[in-house]
Amino acid sequence: MYLAILQWQESGLTQTKFCTVEKLSVKVFSYWLRKYRHEKGLSVGPGAKTRKSFIPVKVSTPELQNNVCSGSGRIDVAFPNGVQLSCPVGIDIGQLKTLINF
């Protein structure tokens, strides 16, 4: 069911519309979505906000403010759940996306 959740996130459809198209029970899908979010440490309670995209990042290095990414620097990301990600500046965007969604 987690694959269906990932497909739904990529689809841009509402949960109800996605479930109709994929012939899934909305109740069952919602259950697995709550379970998925709980396991991933995402907000799950009433009124919880979910993010569908990246949030703005403030860049503190002057060279990078002009979109210049050269050298042997690293990108360090600290997630609210304590997980930290460190990768080289020139990382392939596909690899970075895979790491962030892991």
pTM score = 0.42
Identify the band that residue 87 occupies on the pLDDT scale cut at 50, 70 and 90: confident
d(CA 67, CA 79): 23
Examine the pLDDT at 77 and tell me if it is beyond 70. Answer: yes
Does a structural domain hold residue 46?
A: no
Does a structural domain hold residue 88?
A: yes
Looking at the 3D structure of the chain, how many domains does it have?
A: 2
3-state class of 60 per DSSP? Answer: coil
pLDDT, position 25: 93
d(CA 70, CA 58): 18
Does a structural domain hold residue 57?
A: no
Which tens digits make up the pLDDT trace of 18-75?
A: 999 999 999 999 999 988 888 877 755 555 555 555 666 665 655 555 554 555 678 8
pLDDT, position 88: 85
Q: Look up the domain containing 72 and give its range.
A: 62-101
Is the CB of residue 36 less than 8 Å from the CB of residue 3? Answer: no
